[in-house]
Amino acid sequence: MLNIVVRRLVAGAALLVVVSALTFVLVALIPGDAASNILGPGASEAQLETLRHQLGLDLPLWQRYLDWAVAAVQGDLGTSIVSPQPVATQLGRGLEVSIPLAFGAVLVGSLIGVAVGVFAAVEGRWLSKALDVLVLVGMALPTFWVALLLSSVVGVQLGWLPATGFVSFDDDPVGWLRSLALPVAALCVGGIAMVSKQTRDSVDETLSRDFIDALRVEGASPRRILFGHVLRNAAIPTVAVLGALFISALSGAVLVESVFGLPGLGSIAVRATSTRDVPVIVGVAVYFCLVVIVVNLVLDVVYALINPKVRVRS
C-alpha cells in the first residue's frame, strides 16, 4: 500500500512540473500579454515596453518559470499582475466554491447512480432497458443546458432555490447548501448516468457468476447475497469511474459556475485568461492538477483496499 502511495506522489510531483511548465509556455504562445491588456488598445510600444519591464515580462520565459517555481516550492504562488492580490488568496476563495461543487456532484451522482443501477439490475429487464435509454439521454445532455434549465425553472419560475450566487458556509450553512443545490444538480446528471450504468452492468455480471449460485444453493438470503457479496464485488469497477467522474465534474464546473454566477476556480481561470494574468492562470492549473492528483490517490487507495488483486500486484 505504501508503495502505491509513494509511486503516485512521485508521479504527481512530476505531473505538477509538466503542467506548470506547459501552462507557462502555452500562455506565452498566445498573442498579447498582461501589459497590453492593462494599457488597452492604442498604447505606444514605449509604454508597453516600460510596463513589461516593470512586470518582469521582458525576462526570458525559462527565467520567469524558474523564478515562479522556486517561489512556488516555498508556498508562494506570486501576486496577480492585474490586481495586486496574492494568487493563493484568490484561489483559496475559488476552492471554497469549486471543491464542494465537484465533490457534491460526485457524491450525489454516485449515491443516486448506485441506487438506480442496483435497482435496475435486480428489478427485471424493463427497468434495465429503460435505464439504457435514460443513460444515453443523461450522457448526451449538455451540462450548461441542464444548468440553464434548472436556473430558469427551479430558480426563476418556481423560486425554490437561488437562481444565481454563492453563500459562504461560514456566513450561513443553510444558505450555502441552497446556493450549491442547483449547480450540483446540473453537474451530477451525467455522473448519475455513468455510475448507474456501470453499477447495473457490474451487479448483473456479479449475479451471473457461479459463486452466487453456490450461495443460493447454500440457502443464503437475498439480502446477504446482495449486500455481503454482490455489492462488494460490483463496487470495484464503480469506484474506478469515480476518478473520471470527479475530473468531469471539475471541468464541467467552469460552465456551471458561469451560468449560476459562482466565484469558483473556473470563473477565476476564465477571467485570468482573458487578461493574460500568468501567475493566476498557472496557479489555477496547479490547483486543478493538485486536486486531481489527491483525489486519484485517495481513489487508488480505496480501490486497493476493496480489490485484493491490486494489493497483490503492488
Partner 1 sequence: MSYPRRISAIAAAAAIALSALSLAACTADPSPGEETDPTDAAGRSPMLTVGSQYPVMSLNPVLTPVSNVVTFAYDPVIFKANDGSYLPDLATEWGYVGDGNTVFEFTLRDGVTFQQGGELDADAAVASLEYFLATPNSNGRSVGAIDSVEAVDERTVRITYAAPFPNAVESLTQFYGMGLLIGPDGLADPDGLEAESDGAGQYALNPDETVSGSTVAFTANEDYFAPDAIRFDEVTISILTDANARLSALKSGQIDIAQQIPVAQVGQSALEGLQTLTGYTNWKSIQFLDTSSGPLASADVRRAINLAIDRETLVSAFYSGQAKVQEQTTPEGQVGFDESLVGSTPFDLDEAKSLLASAGYADGFELDLLTSTISDQGGLLGQVLVDQLAAAGITVNLTVANGTFEELMGALSGGEHDAVVYGLFANDLYTMVTQSIVTPGTLLNPNGAADTTAEGLIADAAQAADADVFAQTLRDLNAHLNDVSFGVPLVTESSTDIVSDAIVLPSTSYTIPQPNVVAPDPALAISKTS
Q: Cβ closer to partner 1: 193 or 259?
A: 259
Least distance to partner 1, CB of residue 277, Å? 9
Contact 261, 91 (CB under 8 A): no
Render 69-124 in DSSP notation, one character per residue.
HHHHHTT---B-SSSS-BHHHHHHHHHHHHHHHHHHHHHHHHHHHHHHHHHHHHS-
Neighbouring-strand partners of residue 203: none
Neighbouring-strand partners of residue 79: 86
Least distance to partner 1, CB of residue 208, Å? 11
Q: Cβ closer to partner 1: 50 or 251?
A: 50
Least distance to partner 1, CB of residue 10, Å? 34
Least distance to partner 1, CB of residue 290, Å? 20
Least distance to partner 1, CB of residue 11, Å? 32
Q: Cβ closer to partner 1: 132 or 213?
A: 213
Q: Cβ closer to partner 1: 117 or 300?
A: 117
Stretch (H or E) spanning 144: helix 143-150
Least distance to partner 1, CB of residue 293, Å? 25
Which cell numbers in the block locate residue 74? 516555498
Give the Cα separation of 4 and 158 in Å (integer): 49
Q: Cβ closer to partner 1: 14 or 172?
A: 172
Q: Around Cβ 246, how many Cβ atoms within 10 Å?
A: 23
Q: Cβ closer to partner 1: 182 or 291?
A: 182
Residues 60-94: b if buried by 16+ CB within 10 A, e if exposed: eeeebbeebbeebeeeebbbbbbeeeebbebbebb
